[in-house]
Amino acid sequence: MILITGSIVARADTFDALLKEGLAHTRRSRAEPGCIAHDVHVDCENPLRLVFVEKWHDKAAVAAHFKVKGSADFVRAARTLAAAPPVIEIFDTTKVEMA
């Protein structure tokens, strides 16, 4: 499984627009092949920061996701609404069952 985490800090005057864009992006992404989960959350310690958590079946699904026009459109919009460049990290994971 591939795990992606990302965050974007909005400016006070752009938070509502960034949240709207983020929610539309997550809802669209959930319908893509290989998407296990795609969520956006507001940071409890910085209410202007949106945190994205995504789970994908494999690298091919992530590669396809990044080629979707809607994903590129979201990144462009987010950059214009952000107070700083977005942060993204991609992890190749192995699920561990805890007893």
The string of pLDDT tens digits covering residues 54-90 is 999 999 999 999 999 999 999 999 999 999 999 999 9
Phi, psi of 43 (to 5 degrees): -65, 130
Question: Distance between CA 82 and CA 23 in Å, rounded?
Answer: 15
With a cut of 90, say whether residue 43 has pLDDT above it: yes
CATH number of this structure's domain 2-92, picked from the four choices 3.20.20.70, 3.40.50.970, 3.30.70.100, 1.10.3720.10: 3.30.70.100
Quote the pTM value: 0.92
Contact 5, 49 (CB under 8 A): no
Percent of residues, the chain, with pLDDT higher than 70 = 100
Q: What is the mean pLDDT of the chain?
A: 97
Alpha-helix residue ranges (DSSP H) falling in the chain:
15-30, 59-67, 69-81
